[in-house]
Amino acid sequence: MPPLTLRHHDIKLKVTADDDATLKVYVVVDSTEADAVDLGNGNFGKLISSDKVVNGDVVTYDASAYDDQETQLQFITVATDEAGNTNTSPVYTM
């Protein structure tokens, strides 16, 4: 997929998971960035979802820092069910 040239500030991501799961959505960042969280498999992310996120919610990412630039942004979602089991999504690139 070719890089996006961003002209709008917000990217909206609709997330899905099991009905009993709570989700956290991360933008993939370099491991040296402040607040980077180790998501496993060599991926580090910065949390972009501050409120409780559940199946079907839309999470908005402010991409204004990338306006008028060609870039490829990557996102990862981590789902935790009521029993405390976690599942990490593949990396989604846009």
Higher pLDDT, 6 or 28: 28
Q: Counting Cβ atoms within 10 Å, is residue 24 exposed (0-12), middle (13-18) or buried (19+)?
A: buried
Report the pLDDT value the prediction gives residue 64, as an integer from 0 to 100: 83
pLDDT tens digits, 46-83: 999 888 899 999 999 888 887 777 888 999 999 999 99
- Average pLDDT for 81-94: 90
At 41, the pLDDT band (50, 70, 90 cuts) reads confident
Report the pLDDT value the prediction gives residue 43, as an integer from 0 to 100: 85
| Cα gap 59→48, rounded to integer Å | 8
Report the pLDDT value the prediction gives residue 21, as an integer from 0 to 100: 94
